[in-house]
Amino acid sequence: MLFSQAKVTAVGSYVPGRRLTNDDLSKSVETNDEWIQRRTGMKERRIAEDVQFTSDLAIKAVESMIETFSLEIQTIDMIIVATSTSDFVFPSVASQIQNYFGISQCGSMDLSAACAGFTYALNVANGLVSTNQCKKALVVGAETMSKVVDYQDRTTCVLFGDGAGVALVEREEINPSFVHASYGTRGDAGRYLYVSNIANNIEGEGIKKEKKIVQNGREVFKLAVSSLSNTIPPFLKEADYGVGDVDWFVPHSANMRIIHAICDRINMNEDKVLFSGEYYGNTSSASIPLSLTEAYQLGKLQRGDLILLSGFGGGFVYSHCLLRWSI
């Protein structure tokens, strides 16, 4: 069992107003609505404006949380942002959030774990709060994936969208939210999903598209399904639970084919799945907090529910976080 003296006390989210539908995509690449929905479960995705960046989306998500929960932002003393599409190499998105809200005496850092970023960041926040290194940690998953998508590549452009989600993690000694956590890495598989930056050569993959998403969909599908289906049952067992004990399963919303396959292999009831990809697309590190916030707003999540978060993505990395819902 995980050591924890922390709980999730608030959530929020934001998506840009511009919609990109399947029919819109069919006008620029060889695809159609029926194919996209059957292969991914997606109908549309939200796209940031040209002058709108990851920090802008993250700030809007934080503002939505502040408004919903009437929070005093100045009491936050750590900001952790999970993102693969930061505005700059540095300064970090986290420091931009700190500056925007004028939060004093606050640490800040960005965390890079691609689509598993939010689960990694939540677990880091639990560790920091539980060991008294901070009292309140703002955990953000935010992405503008549209800025690294090649819209001439129909294998990737149908998948990705933009958005941001946030959670507040606070000190709680009696009834903590965090039950268990685990991590995994397959660094040898990094060549199957990446965005080039300073280097533009990954061994064995031929010509690269600099600063654009490159994905081998077949290999990513196999990696995601095998990694999660092989690790979720033992992960739950370590925490003295089974698949049937989980009230809600919140995997990264990569696409529904991956999630269907995982649920089938671990015997998870698909009615328990929270999926944000239908109208927002694959928002990478933002997909899990978008799912959580939407479910909270709809009244699906009840205090005491056991929630399994599972992130997976480029690296290749994955992470699980088992929560007892506390909002």
pLDDT score of 217: 83
pLDDT score of 68: 96
pLDDT score of 185: 93
Asked whether residue 117 falls in the same domain as residue 222, the answer is no
pLDDT at position 196 over 80: no
Taking the C-alpha atoms of residue 188 and residue 82, their distance in angstroms, rounded to an integer, is 22
227: which 2 tokens? 């990694």
Residue 1 lies in a domain: no
pLDDT score of 190: 83
Single residue among 117, 152, 171 that ends a domain in this structure: 171
Single residue among 105, 136, 171 that ends a domain in this structure: 171
Other CB atoms within 10 Å distance of the CB of residue 171? 16
Asked whether residue 228 falls in the same domain as residue 119, the answer is no
Asked whether residue 140 falls in the same domain as residue 62, the answer is yes
Residues 6+ apart with CB under 8 A from 295: 248, 274, 301
Q: Which residues pair with 313 in a beta bridge?
A: 317
From the list 123, 255, 282, 320, the catalytic residue is: 282
Asked whether residue 142 falls in the same domain as residue 234, the answer is no
Asked whether residue 183 falls in the same domain as residue 159, the answer is no
pLDDT above 90 covers what percent of the chain? 81
Tell me if residue 134 is catalytic: no
Mean pLDDT (whole number) for 276-281: 95
Asked whether residue 126 falls in the same domain as residue 35, the answer is yes
Tell me if residue 123 is catalytic: no
Averaged pLDDT of the chain: 93
248 Rama class: left (phi>0) / alpha (psi -120 to 50) / beta: beta
Give residue 250's domain range.
178-324
Asked whether residue 162 falls in the same domain as residue 23, the answer is yes
Sign of CA dihedral 211, 90, 314, 43: negative
Residue 148 lies in a domain: yes
Residues 6+ apart with CB under 8 A from 107: 77, 78, 79, 134
pLDDT score of 100: 97
Going by C-alpha positions, the residue among 88, 3, 75, 15 that lies closest to residue 45 is: 15
Residue 33 lies in a domain: yes
Asked whether residue 212 falls in the same domain as residue 256, the answer is yes
Single residue among 124, 145, 171 that ends a domain in this structure: 171
308: which 2 tokens? 């399994």
- Distances from the Cα of 124 to the Cα of 6, 127, 214, 319, angstroms: 11, 5, 28, 12
Q: Which of 137-146, 187-196, 198-207, 221-230 has the highest mean pLDDT?
A: 137-146
pLDDT at position 287 over 80: yes
CB contact burial 271-290 (16+ within 10 A = b; e otherwise): ebbbbbbebbbbbbbbbbbb
Asked whether residue 192 falls in the same domain as residue 118, the answer is no
From the list 126, 252, 255, 321, the catalytic residue is: 252
Place of tokens 């700190």: 98
pLDDT at position 203 over 60: no
pLDDT score of 35: 87
Asked whether residue 124 falls in the same domain as residue 258, the answer is no
Classify 270 as helix, strand or coil: helix
Residue 81 lies in a domain: yes
pLDDT above 70 covers what percent of the chain? 95
Going by C-alpha positions, the residue among 13, 179, 170, 152 that lies closest to residue 76 is: 170
Residues 6+ apart with CB under 8 A from 174: none
**Residue 323 backbone dihedrals phi, psi, to 5 degrees:** -120, 145
Q: How many helices (H) and strands (E) does the chain have?
A: 10, 13
| Omega within 30 of 0 (cis) for the link into 316 | yes
Residue 162 lies in a domain: yes
Q: Starting from the edge strand earliest in sequence, which strands make up the sheet with 107-111, in order?
A: 6-14, 162-171, 136-144, 78-82, 107-111
The number of folded domains in the chain is: 2
pLDDT at position 199 over 80: no
Mean pLDDT (whole number) for 114-132: 96
Asked whether residue 167 falls in the same domain as residue 257, the answer is no
From the list 22, 106, 115, 255, the catalytic residue is: 115
256: which 2 tokens? 């529904």
pLDDT band at 41 (very low <50, low <70, confident <90, very high): very high
pLDDT at position 212 over 90: no
Tell me if residue 282 is catalytic: yes
Q: What is the CATH number of the domain that holds 91?
A: 3.40.47.10
pLDDT score of 194: 73
Taking the C-alpha atoms of residue 277 and residue 257, their distance in angstroms, rounded to an integer, is 12
Asked whether residue 231 falls in the same domain as residue 279, the answer is yes
pLDDT digits (tens, 9 = 90+) for 13-33: 999 999 999 999 998 888 888
pLDDT band at 295 (very low <50, low <70, confident <90, very high): very high
Residue 67 lies in a domain: yes
pLDDT digits (tens, 9 = 90+) for 55-106: 999 999 999 999 999 999 999 999 999 999 999 989 999 999 999 999 989 9
pLDDT score of 208: 57
Please classify residue 112 by burial: count the beta carbons closer than 10 Å to its beta carbon, then call 0-12 exposed, 13-18 middle and 19+ buried: middle
